[in-house]
Chains A and B, each alone.
Chain A
Amino acid sequence: MSMLLGLFLAPLLAGLIHRVKAFFAGRQGRPLLQLYWDLARLVRKHMVLSRTTTPVFLLGPALSLVSLLACLTLIPLGGPALLRFPGDILLFLGLLALVRFATVLAAMDTGSSFEGMGASREVAIGALAEPGIFLSLAVLVVQTRALSLSGIWARSGPELWSRAGLVMVLVGIAMFLLLLAENSRIPVDDPNTHLELTMIHEVMVLDHSGPALAVIEYASALKLWIGSLLLSSLVFPLHSGSAWLDLLGGVGVVFLVALAVGLVESTSARLSMLRVPQFVGLSSALSLLALFLVIR
């Protein structure tokens, strides 16, 4: 159920963020369902394939979408996840690394300096973000003594917040910053810009078209969903006793996270590319601080 929700609602998040930004700008803005229409159009279009490219070009997006779908089976939402076993956290992170490996190689396959530039930025940010994600999840592991995402979900919640509020706040902030960085949002990347030289994510997919682009767009919507879901299920889970209420609450928090992303994008400027590592490092530092508070 939670998996299906993710599959269907993920593209809505992008629409929601756009609506928040449109409100702040004072315009009507894109329809909420725009990404659904975009995807419907893209899958029916042809592709232009560069003569330079190899099967890696199409395999990259395919593998990353499938990996993200696999990730979705591991995250709890309003109830334990479809699949749960000790150490599923590690598989989850491994799959995210696979996503990065696949998209970066698909970008490099075109032999364009733009895609290379985006790929270089992506791996730099990714390599720095990796410890941050591990450490923030580690804090939750220590706090809940659970080795699986569903286990953390089961033992996290208001009780944990009252016991270790500060730590949870730190972890929450760290994970939110990572969400911004990993999903190419302001202040790390600007999803709205059309300028090749400043982009990260968009510039990596400059050559993909048609169904392949649809796969990429859908995958990045899923990635945003998964990132928000982690925050919702692990940091702010609801345990009301009713599974339906928990589910509703979980989805609500996911949308709140998207709202917060929109708010950040509406009111702050992008960082200079030189500052991005510091920004990503900050999230690692925050989770490290939380970790020390926990194991001290």
Chain B
Amino acid sequence: MKPEILSYPEFSKKLAGRHLAALMGLPGRSGSVLMVAVTTPGAPSAGEEAGACPPGGLQLPATVVEGTFPSLTLEHPQAHGFEREFFEEWKVRPEGHPWLKPVRFPQGQPGLTDFFKVSGEEIHEVAVGPVHAGVIEPGHFRFQCRGEEVLHLEISLGYQHRGVEKALPGASPARSMAYVETLAGDTSVGHALAWCRNLEALAGIRVSARAEALRAVALELERLANHCGDLGALAGDVGYLPTASFCGRLRGDLLNLTGLACGNRFGRGWIRPGGVAWDLEPVRAEQIRTRLAGIMRDVRQALDLLGRSGSVQARFERTGILTREAALELGLVGPVARASGVALDCRRQFPWGPYLDPAFPVCTGLLGDVACRARVRIDEMEVSAAFLDSLLAHLPEGPLRVGMRAMAPKAFSVSLVEGWRGQICHVAATDTQGHLLACKVVDPSFRNWFGLALALRGQQISDFPLCNKSFNLSYCGHDL
């Protein structure tokens, strides 16, 4: 597919009612920048049956901008982060952007920005981070509080900026795989998959059915491990010991299943351009299948305990509510958006290989509170476990890996993968020689961070860790 170059008003109109998957710049003629949007169909309205969003429907509107352009954010709030990023990268100013602050601080001095401020002598600010209390990545959170109540939360990231996105096009094949597998360490499989699918599309090759099935195994194992860990962490945040300890251990067991398959607990080195690097022999597949069944039995028990504990549910319910409207307007993705009733799932919208099942379940919630976000994760674990079970029982035959070919010149490719956090979007463009010219990586966290900030308004500050865990976003996936 090629971007369709439009005038600015037409371009802006093209975005209406659609989900903005990515917004990137490509160098244009004589200092101008070609702004390309990747859009997918918007969510089905709340009344329709969940998952009614039909497959396909990708669009690539583009326009040429130079110097300044009228900000898209006013009409399409979901563009706010992309525009800030665009400005930081291309120095083209979106005029009228309500909140044009640095995203990644590529020039250093992180955290040096005008924070939104509620004035008044009673208001105090709580500044948390970059070094947090737990074993987590760095980021800066600025709360405007009156007593225990959060009036506003602003999140300023960029501490993790390593310059990976910039380095991707020129890197050797081996190094670029190392890059994408560490884009967000807990989503190694998701990003590796999105990256490889782009390369394969540009080279015009198709991977075998077996490789596709094994890729799906890797992706779903990653989802299971992370959802399980998140649920345990949620229990831990409210101090509920049994589920926290059990799920913590089970997450490790799930990671070990991936380790059993490819030697790395995070699935690094499993997915490679052209297919996969490790096969699952029948014995190994069966071993994973039985161990998975055992793990899921323990998981169900741990989660049953969580569901039955009144003291836990009291903490989860009506905490950190994110409305469906807000989730839609801000273009949130993944379990977070689905918990608010936005029935979007790339496995359903852009299916491939084993996902080509028109009835693949999309799990949604209604209220968008912590309880819903936990519920959606529980449901998705069940779906993934059942899917994996049947997949492992009937792995199709075929070669593991096909050889890569040269990539097409002047081509443009978009790859959308539903990682465990949500939609991962990779965009790659080649130059006239068929070398990579530019790459764009959109981790689901890039969008969802703002959802967290919004969900915190009017909440108790002591509930922040709980809300944060219920989103569980990646810092380095955002900072790249």
Contacts and interface: CB of A to CB of B under 8 A. Distances in A.
Most buried by B among A21, A27, A267, A272: A272
Given A25-B242, A114-B126, A269-B238, A195 B465 contact: yes
A187 B311 contact: yes
A193 B464 CA distance: 13
A266 B239 CA distance: 9
Interface in B460-474: 460-465
B359 interface: no
A241 interface: no
A186 B461 CA distance: 18
Given A117-B461, A196-B133, A198-B462, A270 B126 contact: no
B127 A272 contact: no
A119 to B, nearest CB: 13
Contacts of B240: 268-270
A48 interface: no
Contacts of A113: 124-127
B245 interface: yes
Nearest to A202: B133
Nearest to A27: B245
B155 to A, nearest CB: 14
Given A114-B126, A196-B133, A272 B241 contact: no
Nearest to A272: B315
B309 interface: yes
Given A113-B127, A268-B311, A269-B311, A24 B465 contact: no
Interface in B198-240: 235-240
B245 A26 contact: yes
Contacts of A40: none
Interface in B229-273: 235-242, 245-246, 249
A270 B125 contact: no
Contacts of B241: 21, 24-25, 265-267
Interface residues of A, number: 31
B315 A270 contact: yes
A274 interface: yes
A266 B134 CA distance: 21
Nearest to B240: A269
Nearest to A196: B133
Interface in A262-278: 265-275
Contact of A271 (B242, B311, B461): B311
B128 interface: yes
A197 interface: yes
Q: Which secondary structure dominates chain A's binding surface?
A: loop
A25 B461 CA distance: 28
A197 B239 contact: no
Given A25-B245, A272-B462, A195 B239 contact: no
A266 B311 CA distance: 13
A25 B312 CA distance: 17
B314 interface: yes
Nearest to A26: B245
Contacts of A21: 241
Interface in B412-469: 460-465
Nearest to B305: A267
Nearest to A22: B245
Most buried by A among B240, B246, B249, B312: B240
Interface string B289-317: 00000000000000000000101101100
B242 A267 contact: yes
A190 interface: yes
| Closest 5 pairs between A and B when the two form their complex, measured CB to CB | A25-B245, A270-B239, A190-B239, A269-B240, A273-B462
Interface of B: 124-128, 133-134, 147-148, 235-242, 245-246, 249, 309, 311-312, 314-315, 319, 460-465
Given A187-B239, A272-B315, 14 more contacts: A25-B242, A25-B246, A27-B245, A192-B239, A193-B236, A193-B237, A195-B237, A196-B128, A197-B128, A197-B461, A198-B462, A267-B242, A268-B239, A270-B315
18 contacts: A25-B245, A27-B245, A113-B126, A113-B127, A120-B147, A120-B148, A190-B239, A193-B236, A193-B237, A193-B239, A193-B465, A195-B134, A198-B237, A198-B465, A268-B311, A270-B238, A272-B462, A272-B463
